[in-house]
A and B are shown apart, each in its own frame.
Chain A
């Protein structure tokens, strides 16, 4: 059973389009995250949610809108895609806020052309 799953795995789209990435965890964790890993492999936190509530927003452009319908799901919607949005987006979860181990999904490789 996959602990943290993301769909789609690959996403190729044109500038200006709107796209969504979905994430689900079956670990019963309270906290979920979105990270962006750019072409230089730098992994940077974007958002964290705890029990469906936004906890951290790391000055991400408001074209990015996370949504957590329940604590097992955290989706990421991106409006008006730009070339610089091309990256691998990882979802992660942890039992709670704080310094628990984080379990990552397999990543979604987004390419904007």
Chain B
């Protein structure tokens, strides 16, 4: 099983739509979770951290279910500028150190 798995996408939605992305992770010891955004031919940038109780940042809501090892991202009222690839990210601790493990990403395309 891959360390981080995401919906393959692409998601094609009209402006104003609500869209949800899912992600599962395999390491039950993971403690930190993030969503990153990557625009075409650009570097990834942190969108938001994901907290146990769930958290919201404007139109974006992230949820974590530790029992199911499942993370979600909900985008409400989609904008054209939300078109990007969304990367689910989970930490992996080892004796060597901590690494962030990225999912393959889900591509969102918002059209007018």
| Residues of A bordering B, CB below 8 Å | 35, 40-45, 48, 50, 55-58, 90, 97-99, 101-102, 104-107
Contact = CB atoms under 8 A, between A and B. Distances in A.
B30 to A, nearest CB: 9
Interface of B: 31-32, 34, 38, 42-46, 49, 85, 87, 91, 94, 96-102, 104-105
Contacts of A56: 94, 96-97, 99
Given A40-B104, A41-B104, A48 B97 contact: yes
Contact of B46 (A40, A45, A102): A102
Given A99-B32, A99-B91, A43 B44 contact: yes
B102 A43 contact: yes
- In the complex, the 10 A-B pairs of residues with the closest C-beta atoms, listed nearest first: A99-B32, A104-B43, A55-B97, A43-B102, A101-B46, A98-B98, A99-B91, A45-B99, A56-B97, A56-B96
